[in-house]
């Protein structure tokens, strides 16, 4: 349904006032992935990793510098119009709506732009309002809407023309936890009615809960791809050991990294103490050798747990 083959995108920026220097910034450097019908595919990555640029190439807003992309078999460069007709695009945030119009008028406007036929419009708008739970509020002006209501309206707008593929760019950003849970349910429902969804998000538990498959992007490249379970397994291998310490120095952390079977060590600063998150490969219990390296350091709680998607993600994006 969605196919990206070696996509690249370079931006040119100029710096300097007197002597202008052209600078090429590679936002996306050769990304390939494909999304199957009915799949919910997640694109994860830190800010500036190239997620949004990738989406913008796929929805025809930006031309790739090189490489190819097809959505539903249509090339995003040559058949932009065909692609546009068949996709929905939803981004997160308060913007992108006409504040002085009612939700109903907002939807009517986009229904017309997307060629939803006249006699279908009213019925279809009712359907999507029902779906996102805004029925009864549709005559109110958007300026009075809460953040969560706006996001639901965004989704309603994105699926108005019944697109086969929906692109969701950080749709739950800034929404309160309960509202975000509703939104996630809505996104999951899209799959059950047969849509294909490409989702970007910062929230690992969200990706873990929703996505069938995930690609992790860092610095414009895909650094890991697979189902959430595969990612957790591949990267962290065995287990994660968390050790609470009070005052650990850099040299000790380096020593820990050298322990056989340790794949990554990250330090989380907490009030008076630090939390060492040690990822290990293989099944071997490493608690003893680790504690041996920490000789002389005051150690608090020690726990061993299953790796989460976040562990996998951190390992992927911090790996050089």
Residues that bind other proteins (CB under 8 A): 11-12, 52-53, 56, 59-63, 81, 84-85, 87, 89, 91, 93, 95-101, 105, 108-110, 112-115, 118, 157
Task: Give me the least distance between CB of 105 and other proteins, in Å please.
Answer: 6
Task: Give me the least distance between CB of 53 and other proteins, in Å please.
Answer: 6
Between 97 and 183, whose beta carbon lies closer to other proteins? Answer: 97
Task: Give me the least distance between CB of 153 and other proteins, in Å please.
Answer: 12
Between 169 and 208, whose beta carbon lies closer to other proteins? Answer: 169
Between 30 and 96, whose beta carbon lies closer to other proteins? Answer: 96
Between 105 and 285, whose beta carbon lies closer to other proteins? Answer: 105
Between 109 and 246, whose beta carbon lies closer to other proteins? Answer: 109
Does the CA dihedral 209-211-212-213 come out positive or negative? negative
Task: Give me the least distance between CB of 221 and other proteins, in Å please.
Answer: 18
b or e along 217-226 (b: 16 or more beta carbons within 10 Å of the residue's beta carbon)? bbebebbbbb
Between 123 and 288, whose beta carbon lies closer to other proteins? Answer: 123
Q: Of 239, 241, 235, whose CA–CA distance to 294 is shortest? A: 241
Task: Tell how strand 196-201 and strand 165-169 pair up.
Answer: parallel
Task: Give me the least distance between CB of 182 and other proteins, in Å please.
Answer: 22
Task: Give me the least distance between CB of 173 and other proteins, in Å please.
Answer: 13
């Amino acid at each position: 349904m969605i196919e990206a083959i070696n996509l690249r995108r370079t931006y040119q920026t100029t710096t300097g006032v007197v002597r202008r220097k052209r600078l090429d910034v590679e936002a996306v450097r050769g990304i390939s992935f494909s999304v199957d019908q009915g799949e919910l595919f997640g694109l994860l990555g830190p800010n500036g990793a190239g997620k949004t640029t990738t989406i913008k190439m796929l929805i025809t807003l930006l031309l790739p510098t090189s490489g190819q992309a097809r959505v539903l078999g249509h090339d995003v460069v040559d058949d932009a119009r065909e692609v546009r007709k068949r996709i929905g695009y939803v981004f997160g945030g308060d913007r992108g709506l006409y504040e002085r119009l009612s939700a109903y008028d907002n939807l009517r406007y986009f229904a017309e732009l997307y060629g939803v036929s006249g006699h279908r419009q009213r019925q279809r708008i009712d359907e999507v309002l029902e779906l996102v739970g805004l029925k009864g509020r549709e005559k109110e002006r958007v300026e009075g809407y809460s953040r969560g209501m706006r996001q639901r309206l965004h989704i309603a707008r994105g699926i108005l023309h019944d697109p086969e593929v929906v692109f969701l760019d950080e749709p739950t950003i800034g929404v309160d936890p309960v509202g975000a849970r509703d939104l996630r349910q809505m996104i999951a429902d899209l799959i059950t009615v047969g849509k294909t969804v490409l989702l970007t998000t910062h929230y690992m538990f969200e990706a873990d809960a929703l996505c069938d498959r995930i690609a992790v992007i860092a610095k414009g490249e895909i650094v890991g791809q697979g189902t959430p379970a595969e990612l957790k397994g591949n990267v962290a291998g065995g287990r994660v050991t968390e050790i609470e310490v009070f005052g650990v120095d850099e040299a000790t952390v380096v020593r820990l990294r050298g322990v056989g079977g340790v794949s990554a060590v990250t330090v989380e600063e907490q009030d008076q103490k630090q939390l060492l998150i040690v990822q290990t490969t293989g099944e071997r219990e490493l608690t003893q050798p680790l504690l041996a390296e920490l000789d002389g350091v005051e150690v608090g709680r020690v726990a061993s747990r299953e790796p989460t998607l976040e562990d996998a993600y951190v390992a992927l994006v911090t790996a050089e």
